Amino acid sequence: MVIPPYRNRGYNYDITNSTAYDQYFVYGRNIYESISRIVDSIFNEYVRRQGQIAPYFTSFCNGTSVSCQGMSQWGTVNLADRGYTPLQILRSYYPNDIEIAQTDIITNVLSSYPGTALKQGSTGLDVQTIQTYLNRIRRNYPAIPAITDAAGNFGSSTKAAVTKFQSIFNLTPDGIVGKSTWYKISSLYTAVTRLADLDSEGNTLGIGTVPPSSVLRQGSSGPDVITLQYLLNIISEYYPGIPHPAQDGIFGSGTRQAVIAFQQIMGLQADGIVGPLTWQSLYNAYHGIGQNTPSPAPNPGTATYVVQAGDSLWLIAQRYNTTVDAIKRLNGLTSDLLNIGQILKIPSSQELPYIVYTVRSGDTLWLLSRRYNTTVDAIKKLNGLTSDILNIGQQLKIPT
């Protein structure tokens, strides 16, 4: 196939017009109204593995002129004719624990680089992110030394790991995480965890345990604002005086009002500015909620399992008709790593306890699943839902 020279026209991309990679689009050309309506209704939905945050990589080919690992255009037609739902069709090609998640966090393209180089003495969530990435990368590149610094603190062991990483990948070995090192670490982490492959390990870093080091105020934007808005939304469930800000990555008047309300409740200076004290208080409140929300006692039928060579949490979850998240929660696991001979408690497949929740304005199944540490699919299954549409005042059973 001849690729039009889009880069030669000043654009930073090429369009292949191959269904293995992208779809052909001509600005101003007529489109199908039915397709437009569908896109408008589902554009904020994505596929992920249960208990994970990162989207699950899926591929689609027409199955004739172009083939790839994943869904086939004509295979999906046959399944649809047999009455399969969209989720059942997806699970016919991909792991059975995938789910269709929904997010209301809609932003422009954001840069993951924090904007300031990280070096010895730096602290915060960005440092914790780099530490998490490097500790995973060193499983594939053992020459990188282990990081023993506290999470979020850029100490001597973090500098040593960064320096070795830089020397391996032909970067200036100065132990400083600038833009080029940040993106190289991110790229290698994506590669070793196969985030862009069908057998992805997934990514469960989330907001971490260390607050960002940025100072936010009205007019700020970016990933740290999304983190702030997410924290405020969760905390507002337990502190009714705090309003729900929109999770759009933009620090507007609504977010400022929520910050001021939080600061007043916590006895902080109510200036609407999120600095170190407010960040720490937000994280303390958020993690305190998780620690003080009672967990159900294990079911009497809980089984024990000894990890064998070749096991993974996903395979074990499928074997026992449960979820990866349920196994991790029952065993207090914080990662997906298993050791041969390790003894795991496996939850039974009986119905889990639940709470009753009344849907409010702005709620989505995805937000509720994050708020109550469950999954969209679990909520839908417990309530017999066949779509993601919610109505204000609707009562839902939420698994706990």
> How far apart are the C-alpha atoms of 182 and 112, rounded to whole Å?
9
pLDDT in tens, 47-89: 887 766 677 777 776 666 666 666 766 677 778 888 888 888 8
Please indicate, yes or no, whether residues 82 and 24 belong to a single structural domain of this protein.
Answer: yes
Please indicate, yes or no, whether residues 339 and 371 belong to a single structural domain of this protein.
Answer: no
Report if residue 308 sits inside a domain.
yes
User: Hey, what are 190's tokens?
Assistant: 């994506």
Do 203 and 54 contact (CB within 8 A), yes or no? yes
- List, in sequence order, the alpha helices (H) in the chain: 33-42, 73-81, 86-93, 125-137, 156-168, 179-192, 223-236, 253-265, 276-292, 313-319, 324-331, 365-371, 376-383
Does residue 246 or residue 130 have the better pLDDT?
A: 130
Please indicate, yes or no, whether residues 320 and 336 belong to a single structural domain of this protein.
Answer: yes
Please indicate, yes or no, whether residues 318 and 382 belong to a single structural domain of this protein.
Answer: no
Residue finishing a domain among 102, 136, 156: 102
pLDDT in tens, 20-36: 555 555 666 677 777 77
Domain that holds residue 358: 354-399
Q: How many domains is the chain partitioned into structurally?
A: 4
pLDDT in tens, 202-215: 555 556 677 888 89
Domain of 360: which CATH number?
3.10.350.10
pLDDT at 273: 95
Do 71 and 47 contact (CB within 8 A), yes or no? no
Please indicate, yes or no, whether residues 341 and 359 belong to a single structural domain of this protein.
Answer: no
Report if residue 158 sits inside a domain.
no
Please indicate, yes or no, whether residues 359 and 340 belong to a single structural domain of this protein.
Answer: no
Q: Is the pTM of this model over 0.75?
A: no
For 374-393, the DSSP string reads: --HHHHHHHHT-SSS---TT
Please indicate, yes or no, whether residues 17 and 98 belong to a single structural domain of this protein.
Answer: yes
SS3 351: coil
